[in-house]
Structure 1
Amino acid sequence: MFALAGLQSCHSPQKSVSRSGKNPNAREQDFMYQYSIIDALMAGVFDGDLTIGKLKAKGDFGVGTFNKVDGELIMHKGRVYKMSSDGSVKEAPDADSTSAAFVKFFKSDTVIYFKEPNLTYEKIQELLVNKLNENSIYAIKITGTFSSMTTRAASPAKPPYKTLTAHLGENQKLFNYTNTTGTCVGFLLPPYLARTNVPGFHLHYLSGDLKAGGHIFKFSTNAVAVEIDFTKGFTIENNTNAEFRNVNLKPDRGAELKKIE
């Protein structure tokens, strides 16, 4: 069973509102901001020059990674956390840098409540896709208690960098949590954003006690609240590291992306 409130607002232009104390007239206010593109990360551009401190000016919610793909980045309520491959979750210093991040100022337009025994991540994705517009961009926040949650965190890479697929093949750790309470943050993006971002669902997990997290592969729950923030569009800032200028971005890495997402 599920209940929803204000679903139509997911398909309507939003009024300018103040979020997290930021200027409501700021250009990026209701837009997703991304630093670098997914194909660059896939190709091995693992370093960037954007600091976490500067990233916070672009949003208060989102996902990404850190330089050297050292762990998973989770931005929640304006704070940035790193889920490391050793299983620890710590708040990231403003001086740390990211090689790829996707963030926005989150304000839900709709809340959908799901309540059903053994609800899986796949089932929730299916229900949401059937309710939302396939050409729109959504920030998604899922809150609840999860009977099981499987995530991953990447171990840091060493130069010379391989492709992301090759690196994760040998340098990621899987984590299987039970009865964990927390929040899934991320985006549902349309197919036309492929090669710049991850089409479909891309969510990271952060437990309320900061003892669990990572890139979500699967979960099971009996009840969750799904907050949906309709996004007007997106802006891209190219990775400013020299690696980006030299990388070959011609190959289509869609098949590789499906293997690791």
Structure 2
Amino acid sequence: MTLDELRDLVPAIRPSDTLLLTGSVNGGLAHRNSVLDMLLIGSGTRSSATGAALSPSASYTLGAGRSVHVRFFAAEALEQIAATTSRFDEALYEPAALACIPRLSEDTRLLLHEVRVGFGLLNPSIAQAWREALRVDRLHCYLAFLHLMRHRARLRSAISYTMDGDAETTQWMIRESVEELLALVLAAAQETNPRKRWHLRLLRDKEVVVGQESVSRLVAALCTWRHDIPEYLDEVVALSDDMIALSARLCTEIVGVLDME
């Protein structure tokens, strides 16, 4: 891919813009039908070649017929997000951490992940400046905190439903609690991809860090539909204790959060 192709791809690209290769191709998760995902960051509003406003998300085709999906974010919008991510440390270390954790949507978490791991195609030095401004070096700590809270909330719900004799809802909440537990372990291992469809594959990729036994236990708990609900719940409670302890070793920042509870 040449710079001329990139400029033809998005006529609105300016010399000061930042363009990152993101998505499954950049992350080593692509398959034969994967499109090229890119993130374009620049100032102000844009117009396409037709004069219409450039949409936040658009698809294009290169000369070779390869599909490309481009997401555009104005620098002004990222500056607003940076005001929130500057509170990552505060949320992790203040006594009132459980109440003041920043609220980031999944789309925002995806954006931060893409900035964190995206490959710079245009102006990589500006991309690095954005990484620093957005505190993406702390993103995994924030996500570990977030998924820990979600896991525990769902596990408490599962325990409540099983006491009420609601087996189907109990099993559903157990499964969701394990999904959050898996996401916690990934975040503790510094994997910040928020797309759940990739989490099992990413967990396999982290086996050296997480350990083969831990991977096998998480996969078994998530991928098996169980009929003995009390036994299943007991196994997940034990798994929860072990995976939280593992996560605390991998990401010591959440130790303080555990002490607050």
Q: What's the TM-score, normalizing by structure 2?
A: 0.24
**Structure with the largest fraction of strand:** 1
**Structure with the largest fraction of helix:** 2
Q: Which structure would you say has the larger Rg?
A: 2
**Higher relative contact order at CA 8 Å, sep ≥6: structure 1 or structure 2?**
1
Q: What's the TM-score, normalizing by structure 1?
A: 0.24
